[in-house]
Structure 1
Amino acid sequence: MTVTIRPAEKSDIRGLAELIEEIERFYGTPDAGIQPFEERQDQVEEALFGSPPLASALLVEDEAGDLVGLAAYSFLWPSAGSTHSLFLKELYVRDALRRQGVGERLMNELRAIAAVRHGCSRVEWMTDRVNPGARAFYKSLGFAEFDGKIVYRAEAGEA
């Protein structure tokens, strides 16, 4: 199957909101935890097209024009010294297209974006230790796991 990888556009908001629900279900979010569709659409629009945008996304579009994958990322500063990094927050490809090189193409596109952005010194991302598929995928691309960080998380508004 032929796919196109391209930056997200405003006309993609509905399709992205649908894909994000699919991602939530993939990670096991129960129905009660799935965000209402209209609210999700509003958040996609604000995140990608607000002023300023909070993130960027590369989309994978199939021959029929359906969104079948995405790589959502932001730039973080500071990274090494006063440089910044491209931080990959989410990489997702529908099951039917996995193991066909689509994820590798997304990773290559992200590396190319980082390479041409002045002051960007690296691409960084995380995956869950309990996600052997993702870990095997990144290892197959030649990426080594980095043990140097511990991730902390707090909900907004928590003291």
Structure 2
Amino acid sequence: MREYSIRTAGPHDLEGARAVMLDTVYRDFGTGYVPRWHADIIDPAAAYLAPARHTLLIALDPGDRTVVATAALDSRGPLHPPNPPAVAERFPSGETAQLRRVYVRPEHRRRGLARRLVDELLAFADADGGYRSVYLHTDPAVPGAEAFWRSLGKVVHDERGEPGGDNRTVHFEIPMGR
């Protein structure tokens, strides 16, 4: 089994992390880069490295030491709009650790990387001491995403089938201190 190293990203890691993130939004989500949704991908230093309560983790291939996975956490709760009002109210900014950009390159999936990255993010949130909940949302059309998140947390809102749109977002809460 390959032993991936996981660590906090530094400035020299951002190009590789950005590549993983952009490849994911183009390939898996089919949306491509959308500035209002993905500004953190273009400037991950401002989004995750500068704020003390935020972090960006990377996983490195044991062979060539390239970035093959990312996972981030920030203190911004989901906003309404675009998220449902009840979700925004349940997870306020400052008190919510939001998991973001948990992306693994396809050829490195099914090796436990996402779970290891999420465990590290949860430890970061717990050590912070100021978070009362952990939130994330996912697109269930991405292969394996919904099943993975269901194995770690609970669905708090499923937008599939709601009238007035084609939104397919599923919102999750992950228990603190797992």
TM-score in terms of structure 1 length: 0.72
Which segments of 5 or more consecutive residues in structure 1 lack a partner in the other structure?
151-159
User: How big is the shift at 1:95?
Assistant: 1.1
User: How big is the shift at 1:53?
Assistant: 7.4
Q: Deviations over 1:118-158 (max 9, x none)?
A: 221121100124345211112234x22112889xxxxxxxx
Q: How many positions carry a matched residue from both structures?
A: 144
Identity %: 27
Q: For 2:56 and 2:15, how far apart are their aligned partners in 1?
A: 14
Please name the residue that 2:19 is paired with: 18
Please name the residue that 2:164 is paired with: none
Quickly say closer, same or farther: Cα 1:17–1:82, change in 2 above 3 A: closer
1:146 maps to amino acid: V
Please name the residue that 1:157 is paired with: none
Over aligned residue pairs, what C-alpha RMSD do you find?
A: 3.5
Please name the residue that 1:73 is paired with: 73
User: How big is the shift at 1:16?
Assistant: 2.1
SS class of match (1:68) = strand
1:1-159 aligned within 5 A: 1-26=2-27, 27-29=29-31, 43-50=43-50, 52=51, 55-63=54-62, 64-76=64-76, 84-131=95-142, 133-141=144-152, 143-147=153-157
Q: For 2:75 and 2:133, how far apart are their aligned partners in 1?
A: 10
Q: For 1:109 and 1:42, how far apart are their aligned partners in 2?
A: 23
Larger Rg: 1
Q: For 1:83 and 1:29, how far apart are their aligned partners in 2?
A: 29
User: How big is the shift at 1:46?
Assistant: 3.4
User: How big is the shift at 1:84?
Assistant: 1.1
Which segments of 5 or more consecutive residues in structure 2 lack a partner in the other structure?
78-88, 161-178
Quickly say closer, same or farther: Cα 1:130–1:96, change in 2 above 3 A: closer
TM-score in terms of structure 2 length: 0.65
